Amino acid sequence: MNVLLLGGGGREHALAWKLAQSPSLTALYAAPGNPGIAECAKLVTINADNHEAVALFCKVNDIALVVVGPEAPLVDGLADSMRAEGIAVFGPSQAAAQLEGSKGFTKDLCERAGIPTGAYVRTTALDEARAALTRFQPPYVLKADGLAAGKGVVIAEGIEQAEIALADMFGGQFGEAGAEVVIEEFLSGEEASFFALTDGETILPFGTAQDHKRVGEGDVGPNTGGMGAYSPAPVLTAELQQRAIDEIIRPTVETMRAEGMPYSGVLYAGLMLTADGPKLIEYNCRFGDPECQVLMMRFQGDLVKVMLACAKGELAGIEAQFAEDTALTVVMAAKGYPGSAEKGGVINLGEAEAEGAKVFHAGTAMKDGALVANGGRVLNVTAMGANVTEAQAAAYRAVDAVQFESGFCRRDIGWREIERENNR
Ligand code: AMP
Ligand code: GLY
C-alpha cells in the first residue's frame, strides 16, 4: 500500500520512520519532508495548500492513505478535500479541526458537554474583554482564538499587563487569530498530555507524554514549541487516564458526532492535573511535536494499519501496543531560538545513534553536501531506558556525540519525573 505523509518537521520524521517499518507499506512519499525523512521516504514537491494537486498526486501514485502531520492543512480543510475524492486520510475534517483551530469553539463545546475545564469568557471586543478581567483572579490567562503557531497564549501576572496584552491581541499582534479572544481561569497543577486515536466512534488510547515548553533549564524563559519530552508520563496514572477518557475524551467524541462533526484522527489533549482531577487546557488535532517522537519510539504495531483503520472508521477491535520502557527526546535548537535562530550551522551526527538512540531531523537541510541547521528546532535526539533517569542518560550520551557548534539544548529534560524517581 502506498502512503503520502505531509509535513517536514521532527514529528513527521518520527512518523515516517515508523510508517516505513510497517509490513503493510509498499511505498512512502513525503512532502515537503526533510533530509531525515528522505532516509525513509521518497520526497516529492507538492504543496499541501493546493488540495487539487494533492488529490491528483494521490490518484496518479495510487495512494491508499494520506497522513497529515501539522494542524494548518487540517484547519484549512485538506482532509475534506481528500475524502471528497474518495482518498482515505488520517486527520480530522475542517469542522472537527476547530477543536484546535478555535479555542472559543472548544470552550463552548466543553460547556455544552460538561467537560472539566477552566471558566472562560470569549469576546471580539476590547472593552468587553477588559471588563471581563474583573471576573477573574490573577494571573490572567488570555488566548487568541485562532491558530497562532503556539504563540497565542499570554499569562499576565497583573491587571495592567493583562490590559496591554489584550490591546496587543485586538491590535493585530496575532493577525486574524486575535480577532477573538478567550479569557480563562488560571488552573494550577502539573501539565500532561494524553493522546487518543478515534474514528468518530471508537476511542483507542494512544499514550501519554510530558513536554518542556520553556526554553530555559528549570522551565524558565520564553515559551517554545517544546524543548524535550518523555513518554509515558507516570503522573497520568491508570486511574487519571481513565478519568481523562470518561470525563474529557469520550464526551468530546460523542458530542462532535452528535452535532454532525465526527472527529477522525488523533486527539491530543493538553491536561492540567488539578486538585479536582484532570481538566482540559487545550486540544490539538494532530500529534505533539516533540511528543510524537517519543510515542513513535515506543509504538510497536503496524502504524499504516492502525492509521488506515482510523481513517476508514474501522478502529473497533484494533489494538495499540507500546513498549513499557520510557522514551525521552532532547531538542537541539539553533542559537537564538525561540527568537530569530541562526541558520546554516553545520551538523555532524557522528556516532549519536550507535547505542540505539534515534536522531530525528526537525529543521535541517543539505547544503553543499553537508547537513546544516535550517530552523529553530533542529534535531530531536531520542533514546529509550527502563525509566526516565535511564532514558535521559542515554539521550544525553547521544546528544554529546553530535557536533553542532551553533546549537544548544536544555540539559534537564525529564527533571520533574527524575526527582520523583530519586525519592522513590
Ligand atoms: P496552550 O497553547 O493553550 O497549550 O497554552 C500554552 C500554555 O499556557 C499551556 O501549556 C499552559 O502551560 C499554559 N496555560 C494555558 N491555559 C492555562 C490555564 N487555563 N491555566 C494555567 N496555565 C495555562
Ligand atoms: N509540544 C507541544 C505541541 O506540539 O503542541
Pocket lining: 219 vs ligand 1, CB cutoff 6 Å = no
Nearest-CA residue for ligand 1 atom 6 is 153
Q: Whose CA is nearest to atom 4 of ligand 1?
A: 282
> Which residue, by CA, sits nearest to atom 2 of ligand 2?
288
Q: Is the CB of 289 within 6 Å of ligand 2?
A: yes
| pTM, entire model | 0.95
Give residue 133's pLDDT: 87
Q: Is 141 in the pocket of ligand 1 (CB under 6 A)?
A: yes
∠ CA 414-418-421, rounded to 5°: 145
Residue 179's CB is within 10 A of a number of other CB atoms, namely 14
pLDDT of residue 171: 82
Ligand nearest to the CA of 331: 2
DSSP 8-state class, residue 270:
E
Residue 178 has pLDDT above 90, yes or no: no
Q: Which of the four pLDDT bands, split at 50, 70 and 90, describes residue 28? A: very high
- Span 272-292, mean pLDDT? 97
Ligand 1 atom 14: residue of nearest CA: 281
**By alpha-carbon position, which residue is closest to atom 3 of ligand 2?**
288
184 pocket-lining for ligand 1 (C-beta < 6 Å): yes
pLDDT grade for 270, boundaries at 50, 70 and 90? very high
Q: Which residue has the higher pLDDT, 174 or 112?
A: 112
Residue 31: what pLDDT?
98
Residue ID of nearest Cα to ligand 2 atom 4: 288
Is pLDDT above 90 for 302? yes
282 CB near ligand 1 (under 6 Å): yes
Q: What is the mean pLDDT of the chain?
A: 95
pLDDT, tens digit, 9 for 90 and up, residues 88-107: 999 999 999 999 999 999 99
In the predicted model, is pLDDT for residue 175 greater than 80? no
Nearest CA to ligand 1 atom 5: 153
- What distance in angstroms lies between residue 85's CA and the mean position of ligand 2's atoms? 30
Q: In this predicted structure, what is the pLDDT of residue 32?
A: 97
- pLDDT value at 150 more than 80: no
Say what percent of the chain tops pLDDT 70.
Answer: 100
Q: Is 100 in the pocket of ligand 1 (CB under 6 A)?
A: no
Q: Is the pLDDT of residue 55 over 80?
A: yes
Q: Closest-lying ligand to the alpha carbon of 280?
A: 1
Residue whose C-alpha cell reads 533549564 in the numeric block: 217
Q: Is any atom of ligand 2 closer than 6 Å to the C-beta of 116? A: no
Strands, DSSP E only, in 285-376? 326-334, 346-347, 358-361, 364-367, 370-373
CA 226–ligand 2 middle distance (angstroms): 6
Residue 177 has pLDDT above 80, yes or no: no
Per residue in 198-230, pLDDT (tens digit) is 999 999 999 999 999 999 999 999 889 999 999
Measured from the alpha carbon of residue 285, the closest ligand is 2
Q: How far is 180 from 261, CA to CA, in rounded Å? A: 22
- 172 pLDDT more than 80: no
Answer whether 326's CB lies under 8 Å from 385's CB.
Answer: yes
Distance CA 79, CA 351 (A): 40
Of all ligands present, the nearest one to the C-alpha of 191 is: 1
The preferred substitution site among 12, 227, 285, 289 for testing ligand 2, maximizing ligand atoms within 8 Å of CB, is 289
**Span of 21-25, 34-38, 144-148, 264-268 with lowest mean pLDDT:** 144-148
CA separation, residue 17 to residues 249, 299, 302, 315, 417 (Å): 28, 11, 12, 22, 27
Q: Is 118 in the pocket of ligand 1 (CB under 6 A)?
A: yes
